[in-house]
Structure 1
Amino acid sequence: MHGGRLGLGQGTALYIGAVLGPGVLALPALAAAAAGPASLVSWAALLVLSIPVAVTFAALGARHPDGGGVASFVARAFGPRLAACVGWLFYAAVPAGVLAGAMAGGNYVAEVLGLSHRAGYAAAAAILAAAVVANYAGLQVSGRMQLLLVGLLVLLLACATVFAAPHVTAAHFTPFMPDGWLSIGSAALVLFYAFSGWEAASHLSAEFADPRRHLPRATAITLSIVGVLYLGLSIVTIGALGTGAGRSDVPLMLLMERGVGPGARWLTAAAAICLSLGAVNTFIAGAARLGAALGRDGALPGWLAKGGGAGQVPRRSLTVQAVLTGALTLAATLLSVPLDPLMRVTSAFLAAVTVAGMAASLRLLPRRTPLWYAACVAVVFTLVVLAFSGRLLVLPLVVAACAAVYWRRRHGPVTRAGRPCAQEVGEPAAAAAAAVTSSPSAAPGSERS
């Protein structure tokens, strides 16, 4: 830290934490179930194509450092109404995102205790309840604790990869594409959950001591570390577990058990609980503050704004999030909804947010420069991922339409003369930034949500 601002070291650690998250506890298996060994193509493609997304967000953050992140970029480029839509998309994505994160940890609890699959829902509900209660009490995980959790996750992924590597066999990679080319796109959508932390990391731009110098470096280091971890993990998941990879809710536990022995099961489960609870706690805190800020700035009902000031607890917004998340958890339990669709729903919302951010970059970055062309590639890439959402695409479209209608009814038509208001609407995410971007998963994108 430099005078209360982020230096390169801590900023990079927080960036890594924004991209990595508890979703990776289950994603290798979900991708394998969708595409088999061909899911490796999805991992590699997303890694390569996330480079222009990351570089573009770094460029925007360096030029326009602001805690509002994507919302502030959209406000600058397109005005307050579209910025409000982005805020709604974040807010709506949180219930599915935090439930997915809690279930990722809950499944490990059920597995290590030898309980039925339904016990995973109960463990997830307990994680969510603990996070909500902690937020009502105003308790937050410290920044240093969040960094510790980030280190724990990196260590866990590295150990799982290294210890399982000797058990990789070539036979597990055939047939390579059992379900055809379209399965690669299906796997890419669920994996977007793991790559959508860049829009959450964009909230950190204003916190760097020297954004123009530190942001590009932090982005490059994060891309390198995340790339090595994700590719290594995806290869050993397929190569060591074979067809069993796609049938397990706890792939990291299987990898650790294969490489270390049965004793690793309890250690992996304990790490999964800590990661899920830390991430869910932070996402709920961030969403509660985001809702209060949206209420303050007229993008949501004004009564949500109470408690949104510095040092206060936005209990009304928190209650809304708790009710929505509780209802979704109950429905998922009664209907035995698996983890896969929850992550796909979250990915659809976050992909829509990323498209908005990339579209804004086309207006804010100098035209016909390498960065501008990188943004063009990023827009096309994210639209392709979004297209694989299929019918799930209806959800972010409906939420965005509701946000636009609400904004118009409350504020009337938006004119170019009203552009100064855009800066105010960019602030809601800033209120949530301190909580969201310190998360070791910021995935339900973190904002993940």
Structure 2
Amino acid sequence: MASKATLGQQVLRRKPVSVLIEESSGDLHTDTPLDPPLDADAAAPHLRRSIGLLQLSAIGIGATVGTGIFFVLNTAVPVAGPAVVVSFVLAAITAGLTALCYAELASAIPVSGSSYSYAYATLGEIVAFGVGACLLLEYGVSASAVSVGWGQYLNEFFSDAFGFTLPDAIAQPPGDGGYVNVPAMVLVLLCCLLLMRGAKESARANATMVGIKLCVLVLFVAIALTGFHSGNLRPFAPMGFAGISNAASSIFFSYIGLDAVSTAGEEVKDPHRTLPRAIIIALVVVTVLYIGVAIAAVGAQKWTLFEGQQAGLAQILRDVTGQTWPSIMFALGAIVSIFSVTLVVIYGQTRILYTMGRDGVLPPRFAQVSPRTGTPIWNTAVVSTGVALLAGFVPLDVLADLTSLGTLVAFSVVSIGVMILRRTNPDLERGFKVPGYPVTPVLSVAFCVYLIKGLHPLTFAMFAAWLAGAAWVYFTYSLKHSRLRALEGPSGP
């Protein structure tokens, strides 16, 4: 008779990759009763595979382009000066190294849950739960941070097109002239309603919006470069490399979309091939756009003018052309773009909650899927409510740094997971393998740790408080109700 598992063995138990994949397809069968059982009313045992390569790539691009480039320059340029271009390159290198690690794990473990699921298979349950908490923070706060900027571009569009603006009290972020950011809350509600209609419909709408935003950003680069003045690039790095590094740490949340691709693992056609391709496509498109826009922006406007500037890129177009039509078009494109980002990031968070609910580490209601739409309706409502409250009442700079920290922690775990899975499951089918292994994942972790060091101390305090709350949930609920515990039996592994 097997001896009872120690606490250490229980919290470090790993979920076999075969079980993860069987669960994602609804094929898992066991004679061991699950505690707690799935709700009898929870229809549709698994998500529907309805997303192709183009739509999945658009999810990655849609979750990434807009989270930073439409408004983060207003906070990053004052820190780094024109050298913010180098900050974007540094963040892109880190994201690129991690993207290769994501591509391998996503092709080998094509399930929802992203780095939470990867950590469950490689590092153990308690680490996976901590990563899941980081992802929930990362996605929830990122969606809030992005939607906060929506009101600024709405005002820019209304001002140029119709000659009026919404009052700052309801259109600006709290602490920046506003009290309650009403447009941000409205945006989250609209995304919630669209996501409840279904993943396929949401992916189609997002793909259309991504096309619009790409055209708008290319237009910005083309027009802004006509106003390029080399004198605007001097001094290039007024705050030195420390400023470059701090800006890179802050803007890293702009690359969250790479993780969003892997949250769709159970809704993608031919996931072993489609997931890694979509991740690489999203990385290349996003990096080229970010660097191009950053160069055009700091070349067209003196770096000292960025601080406190609302809807800054639209203002640059107005200054360069002396006309309102380019800024009207750009502001409208930004409105569509930020809608797209908020939509996809909320989508990603609901799928992480779905996976954690199915694993039993969160209440089973989070694993319920609508029989009509094939989507987790309850998750969408819960996430949207939380995001709306954050967007309406929390200052933007706090949101951005928290997102960066959560993203960097999750990215580090993915890179470590690649190395562990290569050792523990070398024969696992992989649709993509990290080039330059093991140097690439090691460099990815090193870059992530370096960027983490550049964040504000207050961010670490808030992050620690979040993880402490997550630990309380794990030890009071998740440890007892974990389905992996039920599958292994009371004696443990």
Look up the match of 1:232: 292
Query: 2:353 and 2:252 mapped to 1: Cα distance?
Result: 24
Instruction: Show the 5 A alignment for 1:365-376.
Output: 365=422, 370-376=436-442
Say whether the 8 Å CA contact 1:29–1:237 is kept in structure 2: no
* 1:76 is the counterpart of 2:121: yes
Say whether the 8 Å CA contact 2:195–2:347 is kept in structure 1: yes
Between the two proteins, the alignment pairs up a number of residues equal to 413
Say whether the 8 Å CA contact 1:93–1:349 is kept in structure 2: yes
Say whether the 8 Å CA contact 1:66–1:203 is kept in structure 2: yes
Q: Which has the higher helix share?
A: 1
* Pair 1:128–1:224, CA change in 2 (3 A): closer
* 1:103 is the counterpart of 2:148: yes
Q: Which of 456, 459, 470 pairs up with 1:390?
A: 456
Query: 2:57 and 2:139 mapped to 1: Cα distance?
Result: 24
CA displacement at 1:171 relative to structure 2: 0.8
SS of match in other structure, 1:370: coil
CA displacement at 1:193 relative to structure 2: 1.3
Look up the match of 2:178: none
SS of match in other structure, 1:58: helix
Say whether the 8 Å CA contact 1:110–1:123 is kept in structure 2: no
Moved more, 121-130 or 215-224: 215-224
CA displacement at 1:375 relative to structure 2: 0.5
SS of match in other structure, 2:362: coil
Query: 1:154 and 1:369 mapped to 2: Cα distance?
Result: 29
Say whether the 8 Å CA contact 2:366–2:379 is kept in structure 1: yes
**Which 5+ residue runs of structure 2 have no aligned equivalent?**
1-47, 160-164, 173-180, 427-433, 489-493
CA displacement at 1:94 relative to structure 2: 3.8
* Pair 1:190–1:410, CA change in 2 (3 A): same
Q: Which of 32, 44, 47 pairs up with 2:89?
A: 44
* 1:263 is the counterpart of 2:325: yes
Say whether the 8 Å CA contact 1:22–1:279 is kept in structure 2: yes
Instruction: Show the 5 A alignment for 1:181-196.
Output: 181-196=241-256
CA displacement at 1:221 relative to structure 2: 3.7
Say whether the 8 Å CA contact 2:264–2:351 is kept in structure 1: no
CA displacement at 1:57 relative to structure 2: 1.0
Identity of aligned residues (%): 23
Query: 1:326 and 1:225 mapped to 2: Cα distance?
Result: 29
Equivalent position amino acid for 1:65 in 2: P
Say whether the 8 Å CA contact 2:112–2:352 is kept in structure 1: no
Say whether the 8 Å CA contact 1:105–1:275 is kept in structure 2: no
Moved more, 195-204 or 134-143: 134-143
Say whether the 8 Å CA contact 1:352–1:396 is kept in structure 2: no
Query: 1:326 and 1:228 mapped to 2: Cα distance?
Result: 31
Say whether the 8 Å CA contact 1:160–1:259 is kept in structure 2: no
Instruction: Show the 5 A alignment for 1:21-420.
Output: 21-114=66-159, 115=165, 117-118=168-169, 119-120=171-172, 121-132=181-192, 141-204=201-264, 217-242=277-302, 243-259=304-320, 261-302=323-364, 304-305=366-367, 311=373, 314=376, 316-332=378-394, 337=395, 339-365=396-422, 370-391=436-457, 392-410=459-477, 412=479
Equivalent position amino acid for 1:403 in 2: A
Q: Larger Cα Rg: Structure 1 or Structure 2? A: 2
* Deviations 1:393-421, CA, capped at 9 Å, x for gaps: 23333333433332233354899x95967
CA displacement at 1:254 relative to structure 2: 2.2
Query: 1:233 and 1:5 mapped to 2: Cα distance?
Result: 33
* Pair 1:365–1:400, CA change in 2 (3 A): farther
Look up the match of 2:491: none
Say whether the 8 Å CA contact 1:237–1:245 is kept in structure 2: no
Look up the match of 2:430: none
* Deviations 1:146-170, CA, capped at 9 Å, x for gaps: 1111111111111101111021111
Look up the match of 2:429: none
Moved more, 60-69 or 168-177: 60-69
Say whether the 8 Å CA contact 1:101–1:279 is kept in structure 2: yes
Query: 1:139 and 1:48 mapped to 2: Cα distance?
Result: 31
CA displacement at 1:100 relative to structure 2: 1.4
* TM-score, normalised with respect to structure 2: 0.73
* Pair 1:282–1:52, CA change in 2 (3 A): closer
* Deviations 1:96-125, CA, capped at 9 Å, x for gaps: 222211122211112333435442323223
Look up the match of 2:175: none
CA displacement at 1:283 relative to structure 2: 3.2
Equivalent position amino acid for 1:374 in 2: T
Query: 1:225 and 1:148 mapped to 2: Cα distance?
Result: 16
SS of match in other structure, 2:306: helix
Cα RMSD, aligned residues only: 3.4
